[in-house]
Structure 1
Amino acid sequence: MTQNQEGRAQHAPEMAGMAALGESGFTVARSEFQAVGIDLADGLRLLSTGAFDMATIQVGSVAKDDPFLEGIDLIGVSTNMTDLKAAVDAYRDVFNARLGEKFGVQAAAIWPFGPQVFLCNAEMSSLADLDGLKVRSFTASMSTLLENLGATPVTLSFPEVYPALQRGVASCGVTSPTSSNTGKWPEVTTHLYPLSVSGSIQSHMVNLEWLNGLSDAERAAFETAMSDMETALWELAINTNDTAQSCSTGGECPEGGLYTSYDMTLVPVTDDDKAKVAEISVSAVLPEWAAKCEASYPGCKAIWNETVGATRGLSLE
């Protein structure tokens, strides 16, 4: 199994899930993508070939192989965890059908890192201040949003962001309060703008040939462990990001806990900026994604309209 270094806070629920698999007779050998010299964007293809039986995949990072996958969490569509959970549940079956058809893979657990917000090492009072800045991005639709805000997207994996912010290669980054705090971003940033633009959907994906080779009892045990882990990871994303944000911005921070106390400036979110993200999502993000998706998977717009679109009250023409 390979995993993403970004999810340090998610370590405990994942370890509990792996322990449950161990108790059911599975042997799990874990490695980080970076430790074995693998690009996160190649994770799905390596899983498809059988190089790994299971991998933790950042869905937006592998969507270059199939834009349809990013439809589960497009920028500006589901900006809180309640809306995102509804969108994921609506898309789950078609998401897995496409994964199985094209890659021979299935999503055993689908979960978010949490609200994706802005951290900058420059003065910031609103999204207008991103104009002209280089900002870390990790999905195609996030890059579309940033470009429409006048920023220059810089595609960086999570381990590359800290030195990029430190050296001025990027002025801002987008990630969750939890990931940024455990990744020590507040050491190299000064302002946190908690305007959520997505949830950064992750998935524990498995090779279908491996999965179908399990006995009925083994498969039932595997699916139970993955379901319990998914539930715990959603609860973590919903319940801990406020604590992480408080710790990063000089607020109350439990001693001896997961998070480190910092003194960043917490920038109040404006209604105008919320409306701006929603407008860019409808006018630019969704049409651009739909064109790419239809080119590789005819009919995908209709599928999205019937699933995520219907859940979020949106429709692609």
Structure 2
Amino acid sequence: MLSRPRLQSFAAAAAMVVMLALPAAHAQERIKLKAIGQPLATGLIQKNKEQPFFENFAARTGLPIDVDYKPIDTLGIKDTEQLRVMKAGLFDIVSLRVSQNSRDEPTILGLDLVGAAPDYATGRKVAKAYFDTADARLQSQFGVKLLGVWPFGPQILFCKKPVAKLADIKGMKVRVYDQNLAKFIEMVGGTPVPVSFADTHQSLSLGVVDCAITGPSSANSAGWPEVTTHQMAIGFQMALNGYGMTMKSWNALAPDQQAKLKKSFDALSDDVWKYSEELFQDALNCNAGKDPCTTGKKFNLVNVPVTSADIDLVRSAVTKVSLPVWAEVCDKSNAACSKTWQATVAPVLGLK
């Protein structure tokens, strides 16, 4: 039997062992997650907003989480494969490219039908109205929880041949990134050509396409004005993207941690909405060689005036092309797809 002094000594030693072990235990409690980011080539939103958020994840969220963040164009994964690799459990968080992944899950394209969100204010309303629908579908089909939605901004037209109005693309080959946009280009008389963002500069240079569609800031970052001559600032889509997390990783967090995480992604998304709008006008100026130009490189593209007739043409796309075409595809995999869109988004747009 141990004497009192020896018992006290033993207890003290045991307490010391516990204290020494605490830092190691705390260190082991840190959560490590893997994240897919936007392509480096897309430019300033990825560089100045998204990457800093993930590289300082613990500080930005107040959670003991470290994130291994990699832009998708450094991973050897196509941007059309994001939902598949998330479902397979290869990554925990994704900066989801909505249009590019709509073939795997057509429901999510309801966030960004051609003609539905020609400006930022409308884009925000659509995103808010459709968020829960997209979230529920991603959870049920891919085990991914939607944490936020944000825009690259209005996707506009760049051409290496003179254009004065939208109808001038008749007979031209136009780079597109989803089927919805492809059908609209066909309606106007152009030939849609699916080309990845990373390959578009070369495709324009080699004449594989005559025109291409993206946001002005992304175009500036990727050097599209080097191989084009005209820009037409008419918004076909808002290029909405999202942040998603596997339900496995989400459910591993305590409720208070989930609340903190969602609040942090809400703040990031809101920040990107504001930043995107600032970039849009500045990039248009830069591309045309005008001031103020603070975020990009100056080029000398011709600014093509946007006519009211062309604005009406794009807006009419919702009822004439994008909604019917999307509904046909989406309803095959999700019976309530277009009906849900009509109940949530259509009222926001004043459609009956």
TM superposition score category, shorter chain reference: over 0.9
Name the SS of the counterpart of 2:322 in structure 1. Answer: helix
1:138-153 aligned at under 5 Å gives the runs 138-153=177-192
2:341 pairs, out of 284, 291, 304, with 304
- SS for the counterpart of 1:64 is coil
* Deviation string, structure 1 residues 157-206 (Cα, Å, up to 9, x no partner): 11111100111111111111111111111111100000111100111111
TM-aligned CA deviation for residue 220 of structure 1? 2.8
Alignment gaps of 5+ in structure 1: none
The answer on whether the counterparts of 1:86 and 1:311 sit within 8 Å (CA) in structure 2 is: yes
Matched, 1:293 2:347: no
1:14 pairs with 2:63: no
Q: Are the equivalent residues in 2 in contact too, given 1:4–1:56 (CA < 8 A)? A: yes
Q: Amino acid of the residue matched to residue 264 of structure 2?
A: A
Following superposition, the deviation at residue 129 of structure 1 comes to 1.1
Among 249, 268, 271, the residue aligned to 1:210: 249
Aligned equivalents of 2:329 and 2:133: distance in 1? 18
**Greater relative contact order (Cα < 8 A, sep 6+):** 1
After superposition, give the CA deviation of every residue in 1:201-227 in whole Å (9 maximum; x if it has no partner).
111111111111012343233222211
> Which portions of structure 1, spanning 4 or more consecutive aligned residues, are displaced by more than 4 angstroms?
none
Q: Report the counterpart of residue 14 of structure 2 in structure 1.
A: none
* Residues 126-178 of structure 1, C-alpha deviations (whole Å, 9 max, x = no match): 11111111111001110011011111111111111110011111111111111
Query: Is 2:279–2:295's contact at 8 Å kept on the other side of the alignment?
Result: no
Aligned to 2:69: 30
Amino acid of the structure 2 residue aligned with 1:226: F
2:293 is the alignment partner of 1:259: no
**Aligned pair 1:78/2:110, yes or no?**
no
Query: How does 1:145-294 map onto structure 2 within 5 Å?
Result: 145-254=184-293, 257-294=294-331
Among 118, 132, 136, the alignment partner of 2:175 is: 136
Superposition pairs of residues 82-97 of structure 1, within 5 angstroms: 82-97=121-136
- What percent identity do the matched residue pairs reach? 27
Instruction: Give 1:69's aligned amino acid.
Output: I
**1:4 counterpart residue number:** 38
**After superposition, what is the alpha-carbon deviation per residue over 1:101-126, rounded to whole angstroms, capped at 9, x for unaligned?**
11110111210100110011111101
Figure out how many residues of one structure are paired with residues of the other and give that number: 313
The residue identity in structure 1 corresponding to 2:320 is S
Question: Is contact 1:126–1:269 with CA below 8 Å preserved after alignment?
Answer: yes
The CA deviation at 1:25 is 2.1
The question of whether the paired residues in 2 share the 8 Å contact of 1:253 and 1:259 is answered with: no
Q: Secondary structure at the match of 2:42?
A: coil
Considering only aligned residues, what root-mean-square deviation do their CA atoms show, in Å? 1.3
Q: Please give the alpha-carbon distance, in whole angstroms, between the structure 2 residues aligned to 1:89 and 1:17.
A: 22
Q: Is this contact kept in 1: 2:54–2:69, CA < 8 A? A: no
Deviation string, structure 1 residues 268-317 (Cα, Å, up to 9, x no partner): 001111112222331122111111111111122221011111111124xx
| Alignment partners' CA distance in 1, 2:55 and 2:321 | 44
| Contact 1:17–1:226 under 8 Å retained in 2 | no
Q: Kindly indicate whether residue 91 of structure 2 is the aligned counterpart of residue 48 of structure 1.
A: no
Shift of 1:56: 1.1
Deviation at 1:22, TM superposition (A): 2.4
Q: How much does 1:19 deviate?
A: 4.6
Mean CA deviation greater in 216-225 or 66-75: 216-225
CA drift of 1:20 comes to 4.7
Distance 1:253 1:262 in 2: 13
- 5+ residue gaps, structure 2: 1-34
Distance 1:278 1:74 in 2: 10
Report the 3-state secondary structure (helix = DSSP H, G, I; strand = E; otherwise coil) of the residue aligned with 2:250. Answer: helix
